[in-house]
Structure 1
Amino acid sequence: MSGTAGPVTVVVLAIVALWYVSAAALNTPFQRDIYKRADRVNVPVSQLLTDTMFQERPVMPAPHQVIVEIWNTTVEKKITSKRSLIYHTGITLSSTLLGFLLGTALGILLAIGIVHSRVLDKSLMPWIISSQTIPILAIAPMIIVVLNAVGISGLLPKAMISTYLSFFPVAVGMVKGLRSPEVIHMDLMHTYSATRLQAFWKLRLPYAVPFLFTSMKIGMAASLVGAIVGELPTGAVAGLGARLLAGSYYGQTVQIWSALLMAAFLAGSLVALIGVIEKHTLKRMGMAG
């Protein structure tokens, strides 16, 4: 328990237990209605719990139902099948990664401009912050419609929504990182007659690397949310967003929850990958990983 495996296991078991309790509480009234319509009375509690946990369209599916659905739509289906959850995950992953790369590049460029220009700092930073107050569900259809009007469709519109969400944490984190060098260190660079470019590469950027990786983890999660949201207003037929939409249309709650868990797993994997790269990079730079 002194490491990470023990506490994580305890938390996971607690979540699963709470999940089962919640599923039983939410699904039992519907199961009682089924018994009532079938004129079944005095049903044993054990039978009630069993039927509650295996409803075809439960209000809240039990964990084992979601696991079975994930197994059937991953292992039991070909990756190229449109019924495969891996296929839909790959569609969402492509727009997530493209949006994340564009958002990270945009955030870094904005941060560099803000740090080195007082005009951009006073004029641009408030607009960057204000942009995040607009609900993504309101702006996503606008982005899709505008880009479709100019003949741009497919992957890029969804990636642009991911870019919109992911650039903000990177920009804010990089601004903080580029401004983190101590005054005495900046004065030392001036003593050496270092140019702005030299001070950037040799002092500001190394200081900003830990901030960059931290903000990239947040940006990656936000990018995935943007990709899923981008699939909703387009009526997409592929992607995790399309699975969520189809599940809500036809009342397939098990399908909805399986797509949600797959999205959570995908986000966790991508963030963990950034963490591995961060540890390796900081180690190469002589910093504590």
Structure 2
Amino acid sequence: MIIIGAWYLFALLMNGNQLVNNYERRNMDWTISSVVAEAYQVKRPMLPAPHQVIDELYNTVFDTRITSKRSLVFHTLITLQSTLLGFLLGTALGILIAVGIVHNRTLEASLMPWVIASQTIPILAIAPMIVVVLGAVGLTGLVPKSIISMYLSFFPVTIGMVKGLRSADSLHMELLHTYSANAHQLFWKLRWFSAQPYLFASLKVGIAAALVGAIVGELPTGAQGGLGARLLSGSYYGQTTQIWSALFMAALLGSVLVWLVSLAEKVLLRRRGLAHE
């Protein structure tokens, strides 16, 4: 309630100031009551009020055909494709790197610093480079966005899996050694089992990062579809209500994806008899 009230207040102040400037520029008379009455009805407001964002969401989700480029569902599905593909690629890469790091100390010493350093590079700086390089070899559309999404999502999976694979109980490790278990058996019968809770914790972060990467990847590509394209076109034409509705849809999509990962985690833990975790 406090956030919504503050939102309406700032919308009144910002849009009201915009109206006053327009009135004075046109030498028109105005009153405070007229400014207040029109502040929440501006077609291109500096800050759209909550009800304006809700109206835009309703119109672009329910009152527009999904196949139309004006439909927010149409753009959401495009972003979802890049997000899921990038998430799958990032998860596979993260698990592969983590397994190598855990089983090879040389690889840990040489590769782990680069994995950490990769996240210090701003994604907005390398996204156009990825798009240009992949475009030069004929890879356009879904692939560049998925690669950018993968770049953001593999890191939390790598870190979580390294910790998870090393979390196996030392007594259990010694027990398997007494049975002459090899490295392959140790991995599948103990390490992988112990790492699963850590994996799902990192997947929740990874799926959210993959969504951010997919949206960022749509900005330099000049894509005609996707939530990133929706944000970009809204900024070009001053459609702030369109920008805010796309942001809310992205937040909703991210929440649903994280919830689905949490649901998969609960199902797995229940099958393992660890539902209390």
Same fold (TM over 0.5): yes
Partner of 1:228 in structure 2? 215
Q: 2:177 & 2:94 partners in 1: Cα distance?
A: 27
**Aligned residue among 235, 253, 256 for 1:269:** 256
Correspondences of 1:184-199 after superposition (within 5 Å): 184-199=171-186
**Aligned residue among 135, 159, 162 for 2:146:** 159
**AA paired with 2:103?**
H
Partner of 2:16 in structure 1? 28
Q: 1:100 & 1:164 partners in 2: Cα distance?
A: 9
Decide which moves more: 250-259 or 194-203: 194-203
Q: 1:143 & 1:164 partners in 2: Cα distance?
A: 10
Deviation per CA, 1:210-234, whole angstroms, max 9, x where unpaired?
A: 1111101111111011111111111
Q: 1:152 & 1:35 partners in 2: Cα distance?
A: 51
Correspondences of 1:94-173 after superposition (within 5 Å): 94-173=81-160
Decide which moves more: 15-24 or 91-100: 15-24
Partner of 2:5 in structure 1? 17
**Aligned residue among 67, 86, 94 for 1:80:** 67
Q: 2:193 & 2:98 partners in 1: Cα distance?
A: 15
DSSP 3-state at the match of 1:60: coil
Percent identical residues: 61
Shift of 1:189: 1.8
DSSP 3-state at the match of 2:59: helix
Shift of 1:191: 1.8
Q: 1:145 & 1:268 partners in 2: Cα distance?
A: 31
Q: 1:14 & 1:181 partners in 2: Cα distance?
A: 46
**AA paired with 1:110?**
I
Q: 1:205 & 1:110 partners in 2: Cα distance?
A: 14
Partner of 1:56 in structure 2? 43
Shift of 1:77: 0.6
**AA paired with 2:144?**
P
Equivalenced residues, count: 275
Q: 1:188 & 1:25 partners in 2: Cα distance?
A: 69
Q: 1:101 & 1:16 partners in 2: Cα distance?
A: 37
In structure 2, runs of 5+ residues without a counterpart are none
Shift of 1:17: 2.2
Scaled by the length of structure 2, the TM-score of the pair is 0.96
Q: 1:18 & 1:225 partners in 2: Cα distance?
A: 27
Scaled by the length of structure 1, the TM-score of the pair is 0.92
**Aligned residue among 51, 55, 58 for 1:71:** 58
**AA paired with 1:97?**
L
CA RMSD, Structure 1 to Structure 2 (Å)? 1.2
Q: 2:113 & 2:221 partners in 1: Cα distance?
A: 31
Decide which moves more: 249-258 or 27-36: 27-36
